[in-house]
Amino acid sequence: MSTPEAPSTADSAHARLPTPDAVNLIGLDLDGLASFCAGLGEKRFRAVQLFRWIHQKGEHDFDSMTDLARSLREKLKGRAVVQALPVASEQASRDGTIKWLFDVGGGDAVETVFIPEDDRATLCISSQAGCAVGCRFCSTGHQGFSRNLSTGEILAQIWYAEHHLRRRLGLPAGQRVISNVVMMGMGEPLQNYSALVPALRVMLDDHGYGLSRRRVTVSTSGVVPMMGRLQQDCPVALAVSLHAPNDGLRDDLVPLNRKYPLVELLGACASYLDAAPRDFITFEYCMLDGVNDSDDHAKQLVALIRGRVACKFNLIPFNPFPQSGLKCSPRERVEAFARILQEAGFVATIRKTRGDDIDAACGQLAGEVQDRTRVKERWVRILSPRLATQRETTPAGHAGAQPNVLQESSGEHQ
Ligand code: SAH
Ligand code: SF4
């Protein structure tokens, strides 16, 4: 990507020459960074300073970290780097949504989507290059699995987006852009658990991105054992991709259901909420014409969930792609489906379509690399007033929804 302005720290970090054997500090949580610093004979407070330079100020150049002792800066050089991911492309939608494609090497690329709204700005992050689950309606699933992203590659997405946008918008020091994160890009986050958890910790860390745990959502197709571990290790908001009200249909749409059928999945959802009874699970349900969208399916869903799990439903209009052979349910069908859920007492929202003109849907970008940086002026015009009104509210997809009220939500990645 090339931007007309002078390269910023966030933009230039990936251009640095890699140093063999140097540790990329972007990928360490605070404890990891403290251990690394201890190995250099440095105290924990030095690690905190370094961590804040990296994640709060977006700095990659050790020489610019002015309050670090010169001796530490010298030790870091050659042993460590702060290295971002190269941006393969950027696309900006007329609604303010921005999608970046990051090059993760070996011919793989992953996407990250920024979705500004009146009351929040959500970043949708990828966890894997491709995905092994292979859901029928998902273009990432159709691409197959390439590899897990490292913690550094997961964090490089928020690092770049936050600091690049701050500079691009000319925000004063300390003013944050991203208010919510959803792990709803490419990949199944709970199949990359060991890289995911330290990344979540950095997002939540007050010295890092300082997001509350309700503003960070992990979305899963239902990796049951890892749901239990996430509750223990880092209980952020959980979205579960349901998509079907019975095992027969879910086996077909989400093949992981054959391993972890609905009874186990719903048990894991209920247990996830045990430690935090005020929380709820967001059930995602992709509306597929003639497949899972009938009145009967909605009634089955009510019978399946009622009394079992505190939840809300987020109905997602299917974003079609040629190989799927599937179509999106007509709008009236989606609304009728939502009404049945609402009349049964559930909160059910219909996800607003965002970034339509740039295909900002799961797995839709990788493969079609484009450069549309000339839309920058328009983008700033659209985005600046939105961000100016950004304020603290409820988490992505949990937009203060009231029971029995049909409303649109785009808090989660479309
Ligand atoms: N693997 C995780 C997170 C990434 S997918 C999961 O499945 O939950 C994020 C969301 O996008 C999921 O709810 C998924 O079902 C949905 N999705 C995937 N492909 C889609 C498409 N073509 N149209 C609409 N939603 C889609
Ligand atoms: Fe993987 Fe999620 Fe796509 Fe299913 S919907 S293939 S789990 S990324």
For residues 125 and 112, is the Cβ–Cβ distance under 8 A? yes
Give 189 Cα–ligand 2 centroid separation in angstroms: 10
Q: Is 138 in the pocket of ligand 2 (CB under 6 A)?
A: yes
- Please give the radius of gyration of the chain, using alpha carbons only, rounded to the nearest integer: 21
pLDDT at 407: 27
Q: Which of 123, 286, 313, 349 is the best mutation target for the ligand 1 pocket, counting ligand atoms within 8 Å of the beta carbon and taking the most?
A: 286
Q: Is residue 69 located within the same domain as residue 121?
A: no
**Greatest CA separation for the chain:** 69
Q: Is 135 in the pocket of ligand 2 (CB under 6 A)?
A: yes
Active site (catalytic) residues: 111, 362
Enter the tokens of residue 365: 């970008």
Give 93 Cα–ligand 2 centroid separation in angstroms: 24
Q: Is residue 192 located within the same domain as residue 264?
A: yes
Q: Is residue 132 located within the same domain as residue 34?
A: no
Average pLDDT by consecutive 10-residue portion of the chain (414 residues)?
40 54 95 97 96 97 94 94 96 93 96 93 97 95 95 98 94 89 97 98 98 97 98 96 98 98 98 88 98 98 97 95 93 98 97 76 41 34 45 28 26 35
Give 136 Cα–ligand 2 centroid separation in angstroms: 9
Whether pTM exceeds 0.75: yes
Q: Is 187 in the pocket of ligand 2 (CB under 6 A)?
A: yes
pLDDT at 352: 82
Give 196 Cα–ligand 1 centroid separation in angstroms: 18
In a domain, residue 121? The reply is yes
Q: Is 133 in the pocket of ligand 2 (CB under 6 A)?
A: yes
Give 138 Cα–ligand 2 centroid separation in angstroms: 6
pLDDT at 394: 28
SS3 29: coil
Pick from 248, 193, 181, 189: nearest CA to 221: 189
Residue 219 CA, closest ligand 2 atom number: 2
Domain end marker among 81, 96, 118:
81
The closest residue, in CA terms, to atom 8 on ligand 2 is 187
Domain end marker among 34, 53, 81:
81
In a domain, residue 68? The reply is yes
Q: Is residue 61 located within the same domain as residue 99?
A: no
Give 251 Cα–ligand 2 centroid separation in angstroms: 14
CATH assignment of the domain containing 68: 1.10.150.530
Give 115 Cα–ligand 1 centroid separation in angstroms: 16
pLDDT at 174: 79
In a domain, residue 146? The reply is yes
Rounded Cα distance between 30 and 11, Å, is 24
Q: How many helices (H) and strands (E) are present in the chain, helices listed first?
A: 13, 15
Relative orientation angle of helices 193-204 and 224-233, to the nearest 10 degrees: 30
In a domain, residue 12? The reply is no
CATH assignment of the domain containing 99: 3.20.20.70
3-class SS shares of the chain: helix, strand, coil, % to 5: 40, 20, 40
Rounded Cα distance between 191 and 174, Å, is 34
Q: Which of 128, 138, 250 is the best mutation target for the ligand 1 pocket, counting ligand atoms within 8 Å of the beta carbon and taking the most?
A: 138
Q: Is 221 in the pocket of ligand 2 (CB under 6 A)?
A: yes
The closest residue, in CA terms, to atom 2 on ligand 2 is 188
Domain count, the chain: 2
pLDDT at 373: 31
Q: Is residue 169 located within the same domain as residue 63?
A: no
For residues 390 and 356, is the Cβ–Cβ distance under 8 A? no
Domain end marker among 39, 54, 81:
81
Q: Which of 125, 128, 131, 136 is the best mutation target for the ligand 2 pocket, counting ligand atoms within 8 Å of the beta carbon and taking the most?
A: 131
pLDDT at 378: 37
Rounded Cα distance between 169 and 167, Å, is 5
Q: Is residue 139 located within the same domain as residue 91?
A: yes
Q: Is residue 158 located within the same domain as residue 75?
A: no
Q: Is 205 in the pocket of ligand 2 (CB under 6 A)?
A: no
Centre a 10 Å sphere on the Cβ of residue 347 and count the other Cβ atoms it contains.
22
DSSP assignment letter at 402: P
In a domain, residue 198? The reply is yes
pLDDT at 267: 98
Residue 220 CA, closest ligand 1 atom number: 8
SS3 129: strand
The DSSP bridge partners found for residue 24 are 81
In a domain, residue 54? The reply is yes
Q: Is residue 301 located within the same domain as residue 347?
A: yes
Kindly state the helix (H) or strand (E) to which residue 220 belongs, with its residue range. Answer: strand 216-220
Q: Is 141 in the pocket of ligand 2 (CB under 6 A)?
A: yes
Q: Is 84 in the pocket of ligand 2 (CB under 6 A)?
A: no
Enter the tokens of residue 356: 């339509």
pLDDT at 383: 52
Q: Is residue 57 located within the same domain as residue 114?
A: no
Residue at token pair 């988490």: 395
Q: Is residue 37 located within the same domain as residue 144?
A: no
Q: Which domain holds residue 77?
A: 17-81
Rounded Cα distance between 59 and 74, Å, is 16
Q: Is 24 in the pocket of ligand 1 (CB under 6 A)?
A: no
Q: Is residue 44 located within the same domain as residue 147?
A: no
Q: Which of 135, 143, 147, 182 is the best mutation target for the ligand 2 pocket, counting ligand atoms within 8 Å of the beta carbon and taking the most?
A: 135
State whether the Cα torsion 142-148-150-154 is positive or negative: positive
Q: Is residue 252 located within the same domain as residue 302?
A: yes
Q: Is 189 in the pocket of ligand 2 (CB under 6 A)?
A: no
pLDDT at 238: 97
In a domain, residue 312? The reply is yes
In a domain, residue 413? The reply is no
The closest residue, in CA terms, to atom 6 on ligand 2 is 141
pLDDT at 4: 32
Rounded Cα distance between 164 and 60, Å, is 13
